[in-house]
Structure 1
Amino acid sequence: MTAPTLSPFLPSGTDWTALRNFAVLRGQFRVSLTPLCNEACWFCHNEGDVPPPHTRRHREVRPRPGSLTAGDYLSVLREVITAGLKRIYFTGGEPLLSPLARPVLTALPEVGPDGSYTLITNGSLVRRHAEWLSTTRLDKVKVSLHYFSDASLYEIARVRFGIARILDGIEAARELFDRVELNTLLQRENAHEIPAILDYALERRLPMQFIELVGTDFNEAHRSSAVTADRLVAQLRGLTTDERTEIAGVGQGRRVFRVDGVEVEIIQRDLGRHHVGQCGTCPLKPKCVEGFWSLRLDHAGGLQPCLLRDDLRLDLRPFLAEGAGTASAIARHLSAFTEGTL
């Protein structure tokens, strides 16, 4: 893999090595536009903020208050893209609930041919926002499809608007974008629907990702809902012999199948995960199944390399107030994390 060329306009005096290596290993820059969601999936980690189901049960516990403007988001994006971090994912909560979604997504800076912008959504609001979404630089929409009936949608997400709205959102995304992908968390609540979800994806030639559960403090009570991908792997091996295993880069290992040209990815615990720097001595490492694969920017201006470690969160607001220097601050923070000195 070729290392990205660093821009000559980057400030001197900063060691960019760790950030550059992270980009080479296909690390993600995940940008949360809001912690709010119109669903309350029991397994939600909300990118390290308080998940909606926890807020519903404990009204006194609220997510961090938002403090970034659309201009702040765009400023950070311009800097990190210049620094070579170009795989950008927009998340929430549900990102399309944010009033900042439109001004941010319709003003995205050029990311170049080696970069990409991805919107991660539950699909329920895509049709409503289709007109302005069609004007964005988004390369891909990734829809979370953890259910395939009204019953499982309610059991998992506690909403009553019905699966038809989600499926219509997927169709709306297909009308707008060349690349639409699906992802599904494997769990006891949807185990009976996994074959139907796979058939749905294959019939529409939508790349598909199935994920084994990432345990967090917020979903500890549902540990019994976790199921393995073993049965699904066996099913896919009955459909194709085109299988490979990817364990390079950062994050979790994965099995990748190609069925009639459609890619189906399985993220599995037994393939291991790839840690760097401070992960080696992290006290939470035995609980972690992700490894380090993303940098997360939240709506309150914080950036952290791990959703289980709030103590590693960097406040970018002072650098935004100065009008520059956020990429340098991120590079220094990532270097410290990699070296184990945070």
Structure 2
Amino acid sequence: MAAPPVSLPASGVDWTALHNFAALRGQLRVSFTPHCNIACWFCHNEGDVPPPLTRQDPAQRPRPQQLDADAYLAVIGSLMNAGLKRVYFTGGEPLTSPIARPVLEGLTEPGPDASYTLITNGTRIRTHRSWLARTHLDKVKVSLHYFSDASLRAIAGTRIGIGTVLDGIEVAREIFERVELNTLLQRENAHEVRQILDFALERRLPVQFIELVGTDFNEGRANSAVPADEIIAHLRTLTSDEHIEVAGVGQGRRVFRIDGIEIDVIHRDLGRHHVGQCGTCPVRSRCVEGFWALRVDHGGGIQPCLLRNDLRADVKDLIADPARLARTVAGHVAAFTEGTL
């Protein structure tokens, strides 16, 4: 399924697009592994083949691992030096990867304007709590798309119990100052969304409710997607503190504040930031994301959109030259925003 890598830009680079992206709080999303110990049906796996498809058809395999821990640290350092400040670590499930520990332990102090966030399903936090506590992670974001063994099995195809996930959240709260939750709205968890909200509010955890992003991987169950209208209506019974944030990059958010806890909802009605390639993108009509992240994958690629592997640039041969790598990425972002890729 992988498209051939795009050609790399020339060395004369305009840094404006990359610096603007960083100033608008664009994310650098770093995938440690395409593998996961569960298999959520909607998983997009940051643009790679997700675990549910590999389970169904072993011939569909994700990209092979190409980066070691030193390579990851070099890429992260290069791009942070170039201006990117918000780094998110993903997978698959990042804590299933042996790369996670040496990379996260090897991170330098992020500085006052930067941050490191781990995105996890929560099932491995207790196992790794001793070394996680020694990292410079600022935040852990736990995906909580279920609130019972039955919904966890229906959504994630696993026999792991919900107790393991909830325990992981509690351990994260013990280790880190900031823990957040995110929940994808779907028919399989519609009866539990208010329970998830109550769980978050009781523990004073910010939570984000998200409408489904349609991809080729989950189109077979597109009828599971549900709108955010019901949870928005419920939140309005709990608070009048509501506003809309439409950032210069990424999705618009409807933000509620309940007793000081931020609850936000991402849905199609609020718009998103489209640039360059997005203008003629064949999947734009079903995209709710816009351009809000640069994705670094385990195969040594960087791309500005999870739905467009044809825009992926292979940079693994540039890792030994951080300055050239940064210039290449800056040129790639400029070409994307100018619509010339």
| Band the TM-score falls in, shorter-chain normalisation | over 0.9
**CA-to-partner distance for each residue in 1:251-271, whole Å, 9 max, x for gaps?**
211100000000001001111
SS class of match (1:307): coil
Asked whether 1:187 is paired with 2:186, we answer yes
Which residue of structure 1 aligns with residue 8 of structure 2? none
Instruction: Report runs of 4+ in structure 1 exceeding 6 Å deviation.
Output: none
Counterpart for residue 112 of structure 1: 111
1:39 is paired with a residue of what secondary structure?
coil
| Whole-angstrom CA distance in 2 between matches of 1:234 and 1:137 | 38
Question: Which ranges in structure 2 are unaligned for 5 or more consecutive residues?
Answer: 1-10
The one-letter amino acid paired with 2:126 is: R
Determine whether 1:125 maps to 2:142: no
Structure 1 match to 2:150: 151
Name whichever of 318-327 and 137-146 sits farther off.
318-327
State the Cα distance separating 1:248 from its structure 2 match: 2.3
CA distance in 2, matches of 1:225, 1:283: 23
> In structure 1, how many angstroms separate the alpha carbons of the residues matched to 2:282 and 2:195?
40
Q: 1:85 and 2:84 equivalent?
A: yes
**Any residues of structure 2 matched to 1:188-203 within 5 Å, and which?**
188-203=187-202
Q: CA deviation at 1:327?
A: 1.2
Change (3 A) 1:325 1:44: same
Following TM superposition, by how much is the alpha carbon of 1:287 offset from its aligned partner in structure 2, in angstroms?
Answer: 2.4
What is the DSSP-based 3-state SS (H/G/I as helix, E as strand, rest coil) of the residue aligned with 1:143? strand
Instruction: Please give the alpha-carbon distance, in whole angstroms, between the structure 2 residues aligned to 1:208 and 1:223.
Output: 23
Matching residue of 2:7: none
Alignment of structure 1 residues 93-112 onto 2, 5 Å: 93-112=92-111
1:282 maps to 2:281:
yes
Alpha-carbon distance in 2 for matches of 1:333, 1:109: 26
Deviations 1:175-194 (A, max 9, x none): 00000000000000000000
Structure 2 length as normaliser, TM-score? Answer: 0.95
**Identity rate of aligned residues, in percent?**
69
In the other structure, the counterpart of 1:337 is: 336
The Cα of 1:325 is off from its aligned counterpart by: 1.8
- Residue aligning to 1:136: 135
Structure 1 gaps of 5+ residues are: 1-11
Contact (CA 8 Å) 1:212, 1:268: kept in 2 or not? yes
- CA offset at residue 321 of structure 1? 4.2
Partners of 2:327 and 2:110 in 1: CA distance: 19
Partner letter of residue 295 of structure 1?
L
SS at match of 1:292: coil
Check whether the contact 2:267–2:288 (CA below 8 A) recurs between aligned residues: no
Contact 1:74 1:109 in 2 (8 A): no
Offset from partner CA, 1:209-268 (integer Å, 9 cap, x none): 000000001110111100011111011111011101011221211100000000001001
- The equivalent residue for 2:64 is 65
Partner secondary structure for residue 256 of structure 1: strand
Secondary structure of 1:78 counterpart:
helix
Question: 5 Å matches for 1:206-217?
Answer: 206-217=205-216
Q: How many residues align?
A: 331
Q: 1:164, 1:113 → 2: CA distance?
A: 36
Separation in structure 2 between the aligned mates of residue 99 and residue 248 of structure 1, nearest angstrom: 35
Asked if structure 1 preserves the Cα contact closer than 8 Å seen for 2:75 and 2:322, the reply is: no
Q: Indicate if the aligned counterparts of 1:81 and 1:111 stay in contact, CA closer than 8 A.
A: no
Aligned to 2:263: 264
